Amino acid sequence: MATASVTSSTAGRLLGTVRLPLSIFAFLALALGVLGIDQFVNAMTLGAIYALVALGYTMVYGIIELINFAHGDVFMVGSFVAMFISSSLLGNEGSITNVPLLGVSVLVLFALTIGVMALLGALIERLAYRPLRRAPKLAPLITAIGVSFILQNLIQFFFGPTIVTVPQLVPIEWSIQISGSRVPLLNLFVIASSVILMVALQLFISRTRTGRAMRTTSMDRDASSLMGVNINRTIMITFLIGSGLAGAAGVVHGLYYGNTNYSLGFQSGLKAFTAAVLGGIGNTAGAALGGFLIAFVEVGASAFGYGRWGGAVVFSLLVIFLVFRPTGLLGSHTGDRA
Amino acid sequence: MAPLLELKDVHTYYGAVHALRGVSLKVEEGEIVTLIGSNGAGKTTTLRTISGLERARSGSIKLKGKSIEAAEPHDIVRLGVGHSPEGRRVFSRMSVRENLEMGAFLRKSGPDVQKDFKKVFDLFPRLKERESQAAGTMSGGEQQMLAIGRALMAQPKILLLDEPSMGLAPILVEQIFDIITEINSRGTAVLLVEQNAMMALGIAKRGYILQIGEVTLEDSCAKLAKNPKVREAYLGV
Ligand SMILES: Nc1ncnc2c1ncn2[C@@H]1O[C@H](COP(=O)(O)OP(=O)(O)O)[C@@H](O)[C@H]1O
Ligand SMILES: [Mg+2]
């Protein structure tokens, strides 16, 4: 009896740990089969961008339980900052075919945009949210909506209300053949850079001292400060990182689509928010997963000729999850707060 | 010499609720002092105010003569105040070991911290057995041990304990109190908040009775235990 129960619980635990990777793998295989390689790569690319933005929503929610409605607009500003740095500062006009030069340009573009956006995020936190730390929860929520309007208006003021072109540094004609299909390197580049950033984030959160402070602060702020964690500093770093990732998303968005506009944050931001809820708001791995899932739903819808309904399907998912499973697929990390 | 910890006329509010109405108390180096009071008297608020989690609106809090009433909680930890809060507040999704590591958050990891791990495991062998278990899945008593052990990892000069006996079986309560005495005998001062007056008066040297945010009585524990009013109100005799 005892042995049997031990074995079954070990098997259960083993099943528990492989279940998620297995389901992800099964899902991807299924999606690849149904969509074909072209659409599959499109979905992965779109998903990578949603995931980067969703991380910022989820990290901020995890640590201060604020749905930062301005985060989509931070991503939008990121796309403009990237455009500005790329075209005005670095003087890029189109693609760069010299590989070392392309590499350096892209790296500099990432570094500068991430840096500027991280600072902007920290500034927003300091000015708009920190003064309301002890106010009722509705107050920062309303402020977030205010920040969202301010960012949109600022961008309209400086760049106008129309679509703005962004230099596509990675030549779009570069591609590789995968089982008979032409897969643009640009897509692979977007996917790879997002994945690298997400892995780096996970390592940062799980391995570093500051990462541990972020985790304990999101579990229990008071207990965390009794350990000697500087709460204000930790929250500010969370905004720095979340906004930096939104900046990175802005860079890849521009490289991929070649344009941006001031209302980008509303559209894509809402989808990234849906992704965060889907994965379990407060849960970073969940946000990444949710981002890809939303993209597959959207791309799947258009692949079957329901492209116009993509948004409707995505937001129906949001409502369904909010009603029936508010903790999301992986479970909200704040849900089991003691 | 200035006392290790000294509160003078501390007032703390929650919005319009006047929770501490001029609390004064002190803890000398190496002492166990207990703060006794019924539910809602302001015991937790007193400890939270010392740790900087609540702000005193007036009055002074001094640690070895240095004012800390305006300091940030993380700086107060650095200055040597350990706090095992009401309700234990262990990090439920982290392992026992990770919780203890968080206790040493402000210290450089190295042989000193390793030595303290060993000390904590000596005091609480249960924690050693459960080292890799998620803290949230442990029993109340084990979580209490972890909360105390975690506070010790910062090498505090004074340990604030908020109702360590709450919700524990009598035999466990006795164990925990033995360990508190042991911790104290190794040189850490203790400010012990309790509703369980019997046990607290048994191990502390001096005690304060807190009623509706005010200290109404202060004496040696031996005398408090004999005081008819205390016996009636807190010892149920
Ligand atoms: N977060 C809070 N908001 C408002 N009032 C509070 C809060 N915490 C405690 N109080 C009030 O402050 C008083 C003291 O509470 P507390 O310090 O928790 O007492 P004790 O620990 O002695 O039971 C009580 O009247 C309680 O209702
Ligand atoms: Mg209390």
Contact A65, A221 (CB under 8 A): no
Contact B207, B36 (CB under 8 A): yes
Q: How far is CA B44 from CA A315, B124, B193, B229, in A?
A: 45, 25, 8, 23
pLDDT at B135 over 90: yes
Q: Give start and end residues of each alpha helix (H) in chain A.
A: 2-64, 71-84, 99-124, 138-159, 185-207, 209-219, 221-226, 231-257, 264-279, 284-303, 310-324
Average pLDDT over residues A195-214: 95
Average pLDDT over residues A227-235: 97
Of A216, A226, A338, which is closest to B51 when you measure between CB atoms? A226
pLDDT at A3 over 60: no
* Alpha carbons B151 and B144: distance in angstroms, whole number: 11
Q: Whose CA is nearest to atom 24 of ligand 1?
A: B40
Q: Which ligand is nearest to the CA of B46?
A: 1
pLDDT at A21 over 90: no
For residue B206, give both structure tokens. Answer: 């001096």
On whether any CB of chain B is under 8 Å from the CB of A16, the answer is: no
For residue A87, give both structure tokens. Answer: 């075209």
Q: What pLDDT is stored for residue A83 in this prediction?
A: 97
Which of A112, A124, A255 has its CA nearest to residue A194?
A255
pLDDT digits (tens, 9 = 90+) for B138-177: 999 999 999 999 999 999 999 999 999 998 999 999 999 9
CA dihedral in degrees (A334, B96, B102, A209; nearest 10)? -80
Confidence of residue A333 (pLDDT cuts 50, 70, 90): low
User: Chain-wide mean pLDDT for chain B?
Assistant: 95
Q: Which residues make beta-bridge pairs with A164?
A: A260
Count of Cβ atoms closer than 10 Å to residue A33 Cβ:
9
For residue B97, give both structure tokens. Answer: 């070991």
How far separated are the first and last CA of chain A, in Å rounded?
34
Q: What pLDDT is stored for residue A334 in this prediction?
A: 44
* Alpha carbons A293 and B101: distance in angstroms, whole number: 36
Count of Cβ atoms closer than 10 Å to residue A45 Cβ:
22
Q: Whose CA is nearest to atom 16 of ligand 1?
A: B42
Confidence of residue A337 (pLDDT cuts 50, 70, 90): very low
Q: What pLDDT is stored for residue A315 in this prediction?
A: 87
pLDDT above 70 covers a percentage of chain B that reads 100
B211 CB-contact burial (10 Å; exposed 0-12 / middle 13-18 / buried 19+): middle
On whether any CB of chain B is under 8 Å from the CB of A229, the answer is: yes
Q: Please, what's the b/e burial string for A147-162 (b: 16 or more CB within 10 A of its CB; e: otherwise)?
A: bbeebbeebeeebeee
Which of B73, B199, B75, B86 has its CA nearest to residue B147?
B86
pLDDT at B217 over 60: yes
* Alpha carbons B184 and B148: distance in angstroms, whole number: 12
Q: What count of residues does chain A have? A: 338
CA of B40 to the centre of ligand 1 (A): 5
pLDDT at A4 over 50: no
On whether any CB of chain B is under 8 Å from the CB of A221, the answer is: no
pLDDT above 90 covers a percentage of chain B that reads 93
pLDDT digits (tens, 9 = 90+) for A119-156: 999 999 999 999 999 899 899 999 999 999 999 999 99
Q: Which one-letter amino acid corresponds to residue A171?
A: P
Q: Which domains does chain B have, with CATH numbers?
A: 1-80+156-173+187-237 (3.40.50.300), 90-154 (no CATH)
Contact B163, B86 (CB under 8 A): yes
pLDDT digits (tens, 9 = 90+) for A67-109: 999 999 999 999 999 999 999 988 888 999 999 999 999 999 9
Average pLDDT over residues B169-193: 95
pLDDT at A118 over 80: yes
Count of Cβ atoms closer than 10 Å to residue B219 Cβ:
15
On whether any CB of chain B is under 8 Å from the CB of A231, the answer is: yes
For residue A101, give both structure tokens. Answer: 């030069």
Q: What pLDDT is stored for residue A9 in this prediction?
A: 63
Confidence of residue A336 (pLDDT cuts 50, 70, 90): very low
Q: Whose CA is nearest to atom 4 of ligand 1?
A: B14
For residue B160, give both structure tokens. Answer: 């604030």
**pTM, 2 dp:** 0.91
Average pLDDT over residues B9-36: 97
Of B77, B93, B101, which is closest to A219 when you measure between CB atoms? B93
pLDDT at A31 over 50: yes
Q: Please, what's the b/e burial string for A89-121 (b: 16 or more CB within 10 A of its CB; e: otherwise)?
A: ebebeebbeeeeebeebbeebbebbbebbbebb
Contact B106, B77 (CB under 8 A): yes
* Alpha carbons B172 and B165: distance in angstroms, whole number: 8
Look up residue B205 and give its DSSP letter.
S
The DSSP H or E segment spanning B184 is: helix B170-185
* Alpha carbons A147 and A152: distance in angstroms, whole number: 9
Give phi and psi for B213, each to the nearest 5.
80, 10
ipTM of the complex as predicted: 0.95
Which of B124, B194, B205, B117 has its CA nearest to residue B155?
B117
**Which residues sit with their C-beta closer than 6 Å to ligand 1?**
B 14, 17, 19, 37, 39-45
